[in-house]
A and B are shown apart, each in its own frame.
Chain A
C-alpha cells in the first residue's frame, strides 16, 4: 500500500515549528483538517493523544508516527511534516525526531491501516530515504522523494 496516494502538497510541511509534542500533533492535524477529510478535529486530536499515552510514537532514527483510529475520518488520512533541526518527541532512542508521519484511520479499516503503517516502517528503515527526505525544502520536493522511493 503506497503512502504517496494519501498525500498531496497541502498535507505536507517541511518546517514543523512547534516544540511541544501535543502542539506538533495539532499542527500536522490542522493540515489534514484543512483538507476537509476530518469531520471532528477535537475527536481526532483526542484519539492521537490517547495513543501517545500508551507509548510515544517517536521511534528510532528521527522518525515519529503519531497514529490513531477514529470515527472522525471515513478513509485513511495522512499528513507529513519535517523538522530539519529535530524536536524532542520522547523517541525510543532519545534522539530528536525529524520526520513526522501522522496517520488517522477509520474504525473499520484495520487491513489498509496496517498496510500503510507497514509501508512507513519499510520506507523509513532506509537511511538514504531518511536523509534525502530531511533535506527536502518544499512539500513538492518531499512528495517527489516519497513517490520515487515507492516506485
Chain B
C-alpha cells in the first residue's frame, strides 16, 4: 500500500551507468511492494554540448550528431529499465527530456509530485573540482523530495531476481 508523501510516486534517475540499473531494480521492488506509481527520467545533457560548441571543441555538425547519439542512448536506457519493470509486472512511465540535467530532474520531481527519488551510487573517488560538474551531486543537493541512494548492487539484483 502506497504511503502518501513517501511512496506514492517514485522516480528513477537514469544516466546510463551500471549504478542506475541497480537504482531502477530497487525502485521496481519498492514500487511493487507499495503499489506506487513509477517513473524513469533521462536527460540529454544539451548544456554540455552547448558548452563544447562555445569552446569551439565541437562544430555544429558534430554537436547535432552527438545530440542524436545521446538521445538514442537515452531511449535505449529507458527501454531497458522499462523492460526490467515489465518483467516484474510493474508499469514504468519513461520520459526523455533535454536541458541542464539537474534542473530538468528537479523540475520533473515538482511537476509529477515525486515523493521518492532513486539514484545510483556516486563514484567513490571524486575530486572537489569534479564534483562541481557532477550532475548527480547537484540533483542530490537540489531535489526537494527524499532520495534513496542505492548501494549493494549485488544484493539488490538478487532481491529483484527473486521478486515475484
Contact = CB atoms under 8 A, between A and B. Distances in A.
Given A115-B48, A121-B55, A54 B127 contact: no
Interface string A65-83: 1010000000000000000
A2 B52 contact: no
- The 4 tightest CB contacts between A and B, nearest first, are A110-B69, A151-B127, A121-B55, A55-B59
Contacts of A125: 55
A151 B52 CA distance: 22
Contact of B51 (A54, A55, A118): A118
A121 B52 contact: yes
Contacts of A51: 62
Interface in B28-83: 45, 48-49, 51-52, 55-59, 61-62, 66, 69-70, 73
Contact of B129 (A65, A110, A118, A150): A150
Contacts of A1: 130
Contacts of B62: 51, 54
B57 A57 contact: yes
- Listed residue (B16, B56, B133) with the most chain A CB atoms within 10 angstroms of its CB: B56
7 contacts: A2-B130, A110-B66, A111-B45, A114-B45, A117-B58, A118-B133, A119-B133
Interface residues of A, number: 27
Contact of A114 (B56, B66, B130): B66
Contacts of B66: 110, 113-114
Given A2-B127, A150-B127, A118 B48 contact: yes
Contacts of B73: 108, 110-111
A45 interface: no
Interface string B70-113: 10010000000000000000000000000000000000000000
Interface of B: 15-16, 45, 48-49, 51-52, 55-59, 61-62, 66, 69-70, 73, 127, 129-130, 133
A119 B57 CA distance: 11
Given A117-B57, A118-B133, A150-B127, A111 B52 contact: no
B55 A111 contact: no
Contacts of B69: 108, 110
Contacts of A54: 59, 61-62
B127 A122 contact: no
A9 to B, nearest CB: 21
Given A111-B16, A114-B48, A118-B133, A59 B55 contact: yes
